[in-house]
A and B are shown apart, each in its own frame.
Chain A
């Protein structure tokens, strides 16, 4: 089943401090992370996240290992994150929380463009073009299919 969302475009090397600042970490209330997502990067982004696909530059999610960065996006209703390269901890965190990730370069995508993907396939479509993403490992696919690591372990153990 295909899923579509509107693009929210961000730059390269956007670190996890930019996705959710350290001052909002000491809570388990996910709403706080949603409200303050990207606050120090671009405060207009938070309200555009629901139903979006984030189109990032290289090295998205570098820096701190804070899972709240991926959790904030998931909680805010982001459908997937697309980037030419991911910082690996952020990448794992997204998969573990059931947030779709596509490692591919969509050049020229603008804010608001419609981006479509199929959770079972490793490509994304936008502007009438198909962009191949790097294939995930079987285990990562299984974790995503289970909605994240909690679901995966619940089925396996």
Chain B
């Protein structure tokens, strides 16, 4: 029987297939590079512009003239060609795609490494570079090597303050930064079934940190209910017996809040190992942990308190921001002394709105702690929204369990 990737790509693991792409997307950073690549092609006609989305999130709004000029060029092109264009302030590309722009069973390709996020909805979603993206704009299709699959089996239920991000850091620790290279991950087991879609998106998002090309959940009742909120009907996918390359077991009931220590994402240790480490900045947001449920968990801890360190909060999308506004959690966050920035990637890629200075130490809910990524000469640790909240309140690395 087939894995979900084999089912969607219609080929056995290891085979090469050419497939039409149901949804292709790029952001302000990669989109302009794709446009430059397209302009280098002999023929520049577009196969299916209605299937292309452009989302401005990386440096949005623009920070200087160079960026503004590049964005101007791609914006004009996108609108004139009939791409689905999302301008600054709409949110992070992966979040926008997950808000009803793509469906279970689809083949989704993004010009960004975290495009695997949409695997949470049962889509085969993966990242490519700019020239591949231009090729998809031009031809509507691309080639895939159908991946072998690693089963990440989640049993039990979260206890205490452990949450989906901690499960993500744990499977990455177990697989290592190249343990999933060329392969797909499938998240199965009662823990996967019980997990809300917001948490699944966190786990799928980080699949690429193991080198995996995709990280999939089977679409189920929860997926259907989630997509119904965005007015979309979703097919349910029933798992079948299939052969996995290997299985990694994670018992969610044994998890505790974790930290990924610089500069490796697979370097996860209990938060309490670093309790008391002084922080210069806490950052809540990104395509990993900028969703409403993340803001909600964060606000529950900071509400009625004052943060002791500069704290930047960036909702993953406009709809996350409005929901947080409507339900009052945004004011809890602001009154606690946090700085709220417009939806987008924020400081995640070290471009603006919270870049760290040399020698500074940051704590972030992002997916990468690579050297210099969020500021040259700075270090930062990755954690869950609740650990970020507890640490913001004390000004030093703190497990939420220690705070309460």
Residues in chain A within 8 A of chain B (CB atoms):
12-13, 15, 17-18, 21-23, 25-28, 40, 58-59, 62-68, 70, 85-90, 92-93, 96-97, 137-139, 148-150, 153-154, 157
Q: Which chain A positions have C-beta within 8 A of B59?
A: 26
Q: Which chain A positions have C-beta within 8 A of B371?
A: 17-18, 40
Contact A22/B113 with A40-B376, A93-B131 known, Cβ cut-off 8 Å: no
CB distance from B30 to the nearest CB of A (A): 7
Which of A63, A70, A97, A150 contacts B113, CB < 8 Å? A63
Asked if A157 and B42 make an inter-chain contact with CB atoms under 8 angstroms apart, the answer reads yes
Q: Which chain B positions have C-beta within 8 A of A139?
A: 16, 18, 143
Kindly report which residue of chain A lies nearest to residue B178, judged by CB atoms. A59
Give CA–CA (A66, B349) in the complex, Å: 12
Contact A149/B42 with A18-B371, A26-B70, A85-B181 known, Cβ cut-off 8 Å: no
Which residues 188-208 of B have a CB within 8 angstroms of A?
Answer: none
Asked if A17 and B370 make an inter-chain contact with CB atoms under 8 angstroms apart, the answer reads yes
B244 at the interface (CB under 8 A from A): no
- 17 extra interchain contacts, Cβ-Cβ under 8 A, other than A66-B129, A93-B130, A157-B139? A23-B376, A26-B66, A26-B70, A40-B372, A59-B178, A63-B368, A65-B127, A88-B181, A88-B213, A92-B129, A92-B132, A96-B135, A97-B131, A139-B18, A149-B37, A149-B134, A153-B42
Give CA–CA (A90, B324) in the complex, Å: 37
Q: Which chain A positions have C-beta within 8 A of B372?
A: 17, 21, 40
Give CA–CA (A105, B127) in the complex, Å: 26
Which of A18, A58, A92, A150 contacts B178, CB < 8 Å? A58
B145 at the interface (CB under 8 A from A): yes
B351 at the interface (CB under 8 A from A): yes
B111 at the interface (CB under 8 A from A): yes
Most buried by B among A17, A68, A86: A17
Give CA–CA (A8, B131) in the complex, Å: 26
A-B pairs, 9 with minimum CB distance: A59-B178, A67-B129, A154-B42, A93-B129, A96-B131, A65-B113, A67-B130, A137-B16, A150-B40
Kindly report which residue of chain B lies nearest to residue A151, judged by CB atoms. B42
Kindly report which residue of chain B lies nearest to residue A21, judged by CB atoms. B372
Interface string of B111-131 (1 = CB under 8 A from A): 111010000000000011111
CB distance from B26 to the nearest CB of A (A): 10
CB distance from B233 to the nearest CB of A (A): 31
CB distance from B93 to the nearest CB of A (A): 12
Q: Which chain B positions have C-beta within 8 A of A23?
A: 350-351, 376
Residues in chain B within 8 A of chain A (CB atoms):
16, 18, 29-30, 32-33, 36-37, 40-43, 59, 66-67, 70, 111-113, 115, 127-132, 134-135, 138-139, 143, 145, 177-178, 181-182, 211, 213, 264, 349-351, 368, 370-373, 376
Contact A149/B111 with A22-B349, A59-B181, A85-B178 known, Cβ cut-off 8 Å: no
CB distance from A99 to the nearest CB of B (A): 11
Which of A92, A137, A138, A150 contacts B128, CB < 8 Å? A92
Contact A96/B132 with A150-B37, A153-B139, A157-B43 known, Cβ cut-off 8 Å: yes
Q: Which chain A positions have C-beta within 8 A of B67?
A: 26
Q: Which chain A positions have C-beta within 8 A of B376?
A: 21, 23, 40
Asked if A93 and B370 make an inter-chain contact with CB atoms under 8 angstroms apart, the answer reads no
User: 30 A-B contacts, Cβ less than 8 Å apart?
Assistant: A12-B178, A13-B177, A17-B370, A17-B373, A22-B373, A25-B29, A28-B32, A59-B177, A59-B181, A59-B211, A62-B177, A63-B370, A64-B349, A65-B128, A67-B130, A85-B182, A85-B211, A88-B181, A89-B113, A92-B132, A93-B130, A93-B131, A96-B129, A137-B145, A148-B131, A149-B134, A150-B40, A150-B41, A150-B42, A153-B139
Kindly report which residue of chain B lies nearest to residue A87, judged by CB atoms. B211
Give CA–CA (A59, B59) in the complex, Å: 28
Give CA–CA (A27, B59) in the complex, Å: 13
Most buried by B among A15, A66, A67, A93: A67
Q: Which chain B positions have C-beta within 8 A of A97?
A: 131
Give CA–CA (A129, B43) in the complex, Å: 44
